[in-house]
Homo-oligomer: A and B are copies of this chain.
Amino acid sequence: MTGRPYHHGDLRAVLLAGAERTLAERGPGALSLRELAREAGVSHAAPSRHFRDKTALLDALALSGFERLTERLDAAASESGDTRGGLLAMGRVYVAFALGNAALLDLMYARKHAPDSPGELTAAVGRLLETVLGMIAEGQRAGEVAAGDPESIAFTVASTLHGFAVLNSTTPPEEIDRSLPHIIDVLATGLVPR
């Protein structure tokens, strides 16, 4: 069953994995379908069977990025006790993702913003936002989050998490570990004096 003589069998996944590696190690400018094909041991025309064109591969990469990020956020949310702990855990997850996959995170949103962006990407971002919304709604039920439109609150939190992660995707982890709790505290207590 091993040693496929002609059919690769798993080319799509191999191309995606190779693309993610190149993206992380050498940046988006170094991504080449022909090189990915070479590394996979197939002809340069083979990838077209799995991805209509280069942007289709990028979109698939972006989609898998959103799915993994949302998965980890979900896990962080369900593993933590109160709302503050949940926010902290989600912040850590988001920042860790940004640190470990800076180029991928940039690509994820760049592709989402592209005029020919597929609906799957918008839907994937929607699922990410729903994860945050779930945690806020739960916090309101527990009396740990103030009353008010949960969508607005969740969107504020998601914005802060995303912005903080992007603005820190090049910051040393120890420094982030120190600053993240402060950011969560500001978000929790608000700007206006109490």
Residues of A within 8 A of B (CB): 27-29, 54-55, 83, 87, 102-103, 106-107, 109-110, 112-115, 122, 125, 129, 136, 139, 143-149, 152-153, 155-164, 166-167, 169-170, 179, 182-183, 185-194
Contacts and interface: CB of A to CB of B under 8 A. Distances in A.
A2 to B, nearest CB: 38
Contacts of A28: 110
A187 B187 contact: yes
Contact of A187 (B110, B125, B190): B190
A166 B106 contact: no
A32 B14 CA distance: 29
Nearest to A192: B188
Given A55-B29, A156-B187, A166-B162, A146 B192 contact: yes
Contacts of A153: 186, 191
Q: In terms of DSSP, what is the predominant structure of the interface of chain A? A: helix
A191 B102 contact: no
Contact of A191 (B129, B145, B149, B161): B145
Contact of A186 (B144, B156, B194): B156
Contacts of A112: 170
A106 B87 CA distance: 26
A153 B146 CA distance: 20
Given A106-B106, A113-B106, A189-B146, A163 B158 contact: yes
A182 to B, nearest CB: 4
Contacts of A107: 110
